[in-house]
Amino acid sequence: MALFGRRNVLLVLLVAAVLAPQFVNTYHLFVANLILVYVLLSIGLNILVGYAGQLAFANAAMFGIGAYGTGLLQVHFGWPFWLAFPTGAVIATSVGLAISLPALRLSGLYLALSSLAFAQFTQWVFLHWESVTFGAGGFKTPTVSFAPLPVSKPIGLYYLSLILAVALFLLAQNLVRSRLGRAFVAVRDGEVAAQSLGIDLLRYKALAFGISGFYAGIAGGIYSAMLNFVSPEGYDLFQMVLHKAMIVVGGLGSIAGSVLGAGAIVGLLEALREVKGIQEIAFGAILVIFILFMPGGLIAFLKTRVPGWEEPLHRRGRGDAPTVSTTPATKVVRP
């Protein structure tokens, strides 16, 4: 394994993340926690878009459903965070599974637009179902307590996010290497071909949507606890473009790339916090520039320039495994 290979760099990042709370101030801890939330979102979305090839725009809505689910269960029913949080994630997962049903009939542009309409519908529900969601003003959630453990809320939440992010990162890594992940790639590269190989499209598309809904729901639950506040604005179209920018900058069809993309985008988001006006311009332009000039994202650059970044499916020299492309194959889809 090369010195600056994927595993070593990720391990160093992990060690840095574990030790970080000892050295940084509250604001930097908040940013680090934000990165972990976005890592979860980015991995979930990349499984859906980058691996399964389903271009859906409902990720920000799933994120919102996770946050609202976690927050509202605590506020309305007085549930403890430890119960509301997983339930919120389960709600997001089931909504993800539910919106996958039209996805069986729709693909490409139609899926993109119907999921965009669904995301706006979710926003509308957050805004107008005032008796439950408290409308445009949002609502405060109770502060999470890590009572038996001797840690403050920001640090406890940070380690909770870190544990979840690492666990779900490893889960995703294994998942995309498994039969399931290869089925996703097959669906992406050719639905008819995949079907003729005995892959049940309904089942695998639904699974991809469910998995991305689960990741977004977990991220939403943590995010609501981080801010102690939930409002519709946090889950709008701008979030959508942030999520898309993360997976494009990191690299479509790469779990490690999702982590890099999330880090890069959150870093930029914080750097541009002073000049809010140009955030939309910056992230829109990043999306266009990466698609035009670096279609494989950061991970493609690392894979070609730095030894040790090839992902498992690309590993050469074994002779027994055929090389499977994990980046979308270019294909002519139009006249």
Q: Confirm or reject binding of residue 73 to another protein (CB under 8 A).
A: no
Using the rule CB under 8 A, give the single segment among 9-17, 210-218, 272-280, 307-315 that binds another protein. 272-280
Applying CB under 8 A, among 30, 279, 294, 308 the residue interacting with another protein is 279
Tell the burial category of 253 from Cβ atoms under 10 Å away from its Cβ (0-12, 13-18, 19+): buried
Chain centre to alpha carbon of residue 52: 14
Q: Confirm or reject binding of residue 167 to another protein (CB under 8 A).
A: no
CB of 87 to another protein, least distance (A): 26
Site string for another protein, 22-51 (x = CB under 8 A): ---------------------------x--
CB of 292 to another protein, least distance (A): 6
Site for another protein in 303-332 (CB under 8 A): 328-332
Cα→Cα distances 297→185, 253, 269, 307, Å: 18, 10, 18, 17
Residue among 8, 33, 39 at smallest CA distance from 247: 39
CB of 157 to another protein, least distance (A): 29
**Assigned token pair, 222:** 């943590």
Contacts of 295 (CB under 8 A, 6+ apart): none
Q: Confirm or reject binding of residue 194 to another protein (CB under 8 A).
A: no
CB of 107 to another protein, least distance (A): 7
Q: Confirm or reject binding of residue 136 to another protein (CB under 8 A).
A: no
Chain centre to alpha carbon of residue 70: 18
Residue closer to another protein, measured from CB, 167 or 288: 288
Q: Are 257 and 250 in contact (CB under 8 A)?
A: yes
Q: Are 169 and 39 in contact (CB under 8 A)?
A: yes
**Assigned token pair, 142:** 């109770």
Residue closer to another protein, measured from CB, 53 or 217: 53
Tell the burial category of 11 from Cβ atoms under 10 Å away from its Cβ (0-12, 13-18, 19+): exposed
Contacts of 292 (CB under 8 A, 6+ apart): none
Site string for another protein, 90-129 (x = CB under 8 A): ------------x--xxxxxx-xxx-xxx-xx--x--xx-
Q: What angle do CA 288, 36, 279 make, to 5 degrees?
A: 35
Q: Confirm or reject binding of residue 77 to another protein (CB under 8 A).
A: no
**Assigned token pair, 151:** 């840690």
Residue closer to another protein, measured from CB, 108 or 267: 108
CB of 264 to another protein, least distance (A): 16
Applying CB under 8 A, among 18, 291, 312, 321 the residue interacting with another protein is 291
Q: Confirm or reject binding of residue 335 to another protein (CB under 8 A).
A: yes
Residues interacting with another protein, by CB under 8 A?
49, 53, 55, 102, 105-110, 112-114, 116-118, 120-121, 124, 127-128, 237-238, 241, 244, 248, 252, 277-288, 291-292, 295, 328-335
